[in-house]
Amino acid sequence: GAVVSQHPSWVICKSGTSVKIECRSLDFQATTMFWYRQFPKQSLMLMATSNEGSKATYEQGVEKDKFLINHASLTLSTLTVTSAHPEDSSFYICSAYTPVQGPYGYTFGSGTRLTVV
Amino acid sequence: GENVEQHPSTLSVQEGDSAVIKCTYSDSASNYFPWYKQELGKRPQLIIDIRSNVGEKKDQRIAVTLNKTAKHFSLHITETQPEDSAVYFCAASKDNAGKSTFGDGTTLTVKP
């Protein structure tokens, strides 16, 4: 079945540094990638939607200059958290969609737990 | 935009009993309703989904019902087992290519 590989699975970084999270679709082409953030014991909150070759669409309240999304190819999307602060600590997870998957249109990555110290 | 409400937030049942989780949505244009199971620290896993042209769908011990008029849908788990313990999320989207709005989740605990 469709697999989305997400790396790293966890990362600890210092305040002020940037962190890049990658999501790769391994056996299919992901035309659309969704990026979510999940705080402990809370739901998944959509941050942005990216389509290959175009700019990402950010949800209201999400700073596009802080959370840089690049979807340069049909198999790779990246989220860069710039100038990270402790309040950015969260579980970040991507979800890919491709029409060929039929009813199981969404495939989630394994998630990245970011801790900013 | 779409608003999805999920109840209850926590649910505890005895092994073998049934569990029901309910969600309501606000956007009548939504037509795709997946349910996800998420274990601690892991990715959400799709367990069942339903489209607006179907009223009920069943897969072994899991079933989902949809009432388009009332804009609510429910997850039913029968003969619950301890391994069913997890957080369950409902979601709604306008089609299976659009962004999903998730409910707040239900923590299900199945006591042996």
Contact B89 A106 (CB under 8 A): no
The pLDDT score that the predictor gives to residue B40 is: 86
Interior angle at CA B38, CA B90 and CA B81, nearest 5: 95
Q: How confident is the model at residue B96 (pLDDT cuts 50, 70, 90)?
A: low
| Whether the predicted pLDDT of A97 surpasses 60 | yes
A37-82 pLDDT tens trace: 998 888 899 999 998 888 899 999 999 999 999 988 889 999 999 9
Mean pLDDT of B51-56: 88
* B43, B97, B105: residue with CB nearest A108: B43
Contact A106 B101 (CB under 8 A): no
The pLDDT score that the predictor gives to residue B52 is: 85
Cross-strand bridge partners of residue A21? A79
Share of chain A above pLDDT 90, in %: 64
Contact by Cβ (8 Å): B9, B105 = yes
Tokens representing A104 are: 């199981």
The pLDDT score that the predictor gives to residue A11 is: 97
* A45, A105, A109: residue with CB nearest B96: A105
- CA-nearest residue to A33 within chain B is B99
**Cα–Cα distance, B22 to B31 (Å, whole number):** 17
**Cα–Cα distance, B65 to A103 (Å, whole number):** 17
Scanning A86-115 for CB atoms below 8 A from B yields 93, 97, 99, 103-106, 108-111, 113
- CA-nearest residue to B107 within chain A is A41
A99-109 pLDDT tens trace: 655 555 678 89
Chain A residues with CB inside 8 Å of B49's CB?
103-104
Contact B101 A46 (CB under 8 A): yes
SS (H, E, C) chain B: CCCEEEECCEEEEECCCCEEEEEEECCCCCCEEEEEEECCCCCCEEEEEEECCCCEEEECCEEEEEECCCCEEEEEECCCCHHHCEEEEEEEECCCCCCCEECCCEEEEEEC
The pLDDT score that the predictor gives to residue B54 is: 83
Contact by Cβ (8 Å): A81, A67 = yes
